[in-house]
Every structure is written in C-alpha cells, then in structure tokens.
Amino acid sequence: QVQLQQSGPGLVKPSQTLSLTCAISGDSVSGNTVSWNWIRQSPSRGLEWLGRTFYRSRSEWSYEYAVSMKSRITISPDTSKNQFSLHVNSVIPDDTAVYYCARGSAGALDFWGRGTLVAVSS
Amino acid sequence: QSALTQPASVSGSPGQSITVSCTGTSSDVGLYNYVSWYQHHPGRAPKLIISEVNNRPSGVPDRFSGSRSGNTASLTISGLQPEDEAHYFCFSYRASSTWVFGGGTRVSVL
C-alpha cells in the first residue's frame, strides 16, 4: 500500500517561498510508470493541479507545470530520501490553500496525502 | 473558477440512485479517456473511485460507476448508502500536458 506523508510549514509570509515535502512509502519516486503530483484547493480557486514530475530513464526526469504557475513553481524529486518537494516562489495571500501530494498512475491520482493547510500572511 | 463544471450539490435517499455530472470540452473530457472521479471526506485524503472514464479500482464498491457522453462525464451511485455522503470531484487530462479538475459536488444522503 502506497502512503504519502506531507510535511512543511503552515504559515508563510508574502513574497517568501512556500516549501512542502511528500515522503513516499510503498513505492519509489523513480518508478517507471508513475508520476508525482502536487494539487491545491482553496475556496476562491477550487481544486487546481499544480504540476508533476516523473522518471524517464537514464537519470532523466520530466517536469510538467500548470501554465498559471509555471513562472513560480518547482517540483523536485529526491531519490536518496524517496520523496519529492514543492516550492512556490513569491507567494501572495491568494496562494493560501490546502496543498496535496498525489501519485499519478494510468491517468488518475490513485494515492493522496492528507493535505497541508498553508496560509500566506504577514 | 474550475475548468470542469459540476453541480454544487446532489442529494438522494438511501437506496436511491444519483448521478453527478462533469462537463468539459472537446479538448479534455470529450477527447481523452483519462477522466477520473474521487470521493473526499473532509480531513481525509481523497480516494480514487473511478479511473479512465469507467474503470473501478479494486476495493471500490460496484454501486459506483462512471460513463461519458460527448463532453460530459458522469458518476452514478446506485443504492445510495449513508457513508456515501461526501464531496466528489472529477479530473481530466487536457492537451499540452495539463490536467484539470471539476469544482466538486457535495452529495447528501437524506
């Protein structure tokens, strides 16, 4: 059974960087047929897919980001710790949301973390 | 404003059947088979209940089913149970390596 454990601060100041980590058990971040995704949910934006990373081959990784976030977002795999991270730069109050990590497989998100509420406030 | 349109709420009595719709466009729901549905109880991790339009993962009760007609996907719950009261949302691939969600539907069991 795949389990995803999220960690990271619940409060970030405007203009700073939001950073969250998703630790994976029961699978490998380097798995060939899966992707590792970040999603967020807020009252103003609803559910929003932010981006994903997946392993291709020969130590090469692919990264895909939502167009609306592309200039501010980075998703990073960490094979040594079997986890992946989300970094959102220059946050504003509208980035306040519950952030989820999830595994992608066969076009669906089959395992999710429990979510982390991140507030952007001074 | 979500990319896929769902009704805000749907309700039914125990044992009844209900349907939740998810309307997109010919660039997402109507074009790709990567349409999935999720059940979400607040405070818990969302749970995949339908993948690839109409596939039910192992362990999901067979009262949950998915279908599609044109640009609209549908989730049907047959024989509604009290534990089915939750939020449900759809998710679809859209061209250019983008994925989109529905706004979510609150299902109430009367």
Q: How close is the nearest chain B Cα to the Cα of A81, in Å?
A: 22
How far is A81 from A29, CA to CA, in rounded Å? Answer: 9
Cα B74 to its chain centre, rounded Å, is 6
Answer whether B2 touches A (CB < 8 Å): yes
Q: What is the mean pLDDT of chain B?
A: 95
Tens of pLDDT along chain A (122 residues) come to 999 999 999 999 999 999 999 999 999 999 889 999 999 999 888 899 999 999 998 889 999 999 999 899 999 999 999 999 999 999 999 999 999 999 999 999 999 999 999 999 99
Residues of A numbered 96-115 whose beta carbons fall under 8 angstroms of chain B's beta carbons: which are they? Answer: 100, 102, 106-115
Confidence band for B53, pLDDT divided at 50, 70 and 90: very high
In the predicted model, is pLDDT for residue B43 greater than 90? no
Q: Does B52 touch chain A (CB under 8 A)?
A: yes
**Per-residue model confidence (pLDDT) at position B2:** 64
A47: nearest CA partner in chain B: B101
DSSP per-residue letters across A48-70: EEEEEEEEEETTEEEEEE-TTTT
A100–chain B nearest CA distance, Å: 8
Give yes or no for residue B19 having a pLDDT over 90.
yes
- Does the beta-carbon distance from B99 to A100 stay under 8 Å? no
Q: Is the pLDDT confidence value at B87 over 80? A: yes
